[in-house]
Structure 1
């Protein structure tokens, strides 16, 4: 079963413009000259001039986005490094932001993947030679990206839009990303090789630490525009963090809604167990830039501290040392680092 798109993806006018194709073709030629790094997925990462890596189509699409996206003050952008709770964040924000007097918007989650309801700019919206016209989408437009802040369009910074960034313990992030990328690899990717690349900053939309720091510094400079959350905080107090999040994006739960349990209903409907058990996420597919992707690959465990089942103490210590070094002086301290069993 392939689920049909809804919300933003279905509302975007289809554009077939030769001028747009020419823009993409020119950028593809430029990107083809970028340094390439082999990976265990069988496809190389290309290095963007801003210092991050991705597959060629996503690098091209990110460059098109920077040139042609027009942000609105009413937009809500979700941002994460890959495998930092993206699917969960999409589901929570969609159900809360699109709720009505009838209650939370949980029904669409039963029929559509969160990745259809809140599309990725770089792999679902600006793709395949298309520069879409997003002006007809009603406010607030809800969009998602993995693009590092340094490579986002200037119009986002200049606008009054809201940005929600979800970060995660890099040890858990790495393990989840390694499992995810192995779904596409021609043969199992050795965890040691993948780990070495991750620590060297050769990772999708990475390096992880610069990605997180970019959004963190933006949050520190403009806390009214950027909310910085961590996966660990969200897991420890999902209801409290959801209330904080909706307050930030301008759609707080009313006292009446809280008494009626609307916020609790959203939390319960958006647990990883509940979402993963839905038929659409067990057997459906979502169209990405190059192919249809099975929805079930976006769900694994979602457990805080799962890295202990996969990393040696030396590997965990290495990531914690990098994290402490890179984040030193920034004010950013991840919750898990405060209680690290590795560094004690």
Structure 2
């Protein structure tokens, strides 16, 4: 099956290029980043940008439902299969023979909802020229770390499965795709005051689910009734989304829409504070120190625990 890593050499997960000082995975070749400099953005596009495992598919589902006035049957699920910068194939040798995500998106009908994990510096410049809508999701890095470890564990080479090594890699500047700290700092400092950018924190979405759904609708210019807002909120709880994804997997090729490479489930538990069961006090302090240094001259804040309702 195209786009699956089944049976592939797991060492390929470590193949990357260094571009502008950032370690960029083989699924995003240099030619793609060059092409995105002239990617034709449309004024009614919606970009959902996140660091991986930060609530990407949660926001995607909310946006899909907002765009369709809460009608699940009108969602174009094909948009789940591609990421702007990704070439979804079995390994580096297949990249030149496989159509990249942005090429698929060029063929989509408007309005397009496009997902990306790119850092601010690599996104298409026309986004800022045309003031196209961008939703950026930030999640506390301690929970992101735990979610990423769970997500990638089965594809890691044996020598890289040690928890301590993964913690050190995550917090370093050599993280594939760019480290969390630089990724979030770039967006916060450059975009937080832009009218065409809506920055939402994962923890705030957990606390104020319905309120954020309403804010997303307003940001996208959709005048939805309170009943539709209620419906969207109900359909985008973690339990409801698991039900939706289970149904999608029953369709031909459905696992490509619900799992990365058809293997790695996008949805997990979506908890806040799970890191407390994994990180030692020393490891937690590494994050605290890095956060304090990275955001010392900003007003950026995060929550690391929430009281259970």
Q: Same fold (TM over 0.5)?
A: yes
CA distance in 1, matches of 2:273, 2:249: 25
CA distance in 1, matches of 2:79, 2:273: 24
CA distance in 1, matches of 2:211, 2:257: 33
> Which residues in structure 2 correspond to 1:183-332 (within 5 Å)?
183-187=154-158, 189-222=161-194, 224-253=195-224, 257-258=225-226, 261-278=227-244, 279-280=246-247, 284-286=254-256, 292-294=261-263, 297-332=265-300
Q: In the alignment, which residue of structure 2 is the partner of 1:16?
A: none
Structure 1 residue 147: Cα displacement: 0.5
Q: In the alignment, which residue of structure 1 is the partner of 2:4?
A: none
> Which residues in structure 2 correspond to 1:1-344 (within 5 Å)?
43-60=13-30, 62-99=32-69, 104-107=70-73, 112=77, 115-116=80-81, 119-123=82-86, 128-129=98-99, 132=103, 137-187=108-158, 189-222=161-194, 224-253=195-224, 257-258=225-226, 261-278=227-244, 279-280=246-247, 284-286=254-256, 292-294=261-263, 297-336=265-304
Structure 1 residue 217: Cα displacement: 1.9
Once superposed, what is the RMSD of the aligned Cα atoms?
A: 2.9
Structure 1 residue 206: Cα displacement: 1.9
- Scaled by the length of structure 1, the TM-score of the pair is 0.74
Structure 1: gaps of 5 or more residues: 3-39, 340-344
Other structure's SS at 1:213 match? helix
CA distance in 1, matches of 2:288, 2:17: 25
Structure 2: gaps of 5 or more residues: 2-9, 90-94
CA distance in 2, matches of 1:136, 1:43: 29
- 1:41/1:133 CA distance change after superposition, 3 Å: closer
CA distance in 1, matches of 2:243, 2:104: 35
Count, aligned residues: 284
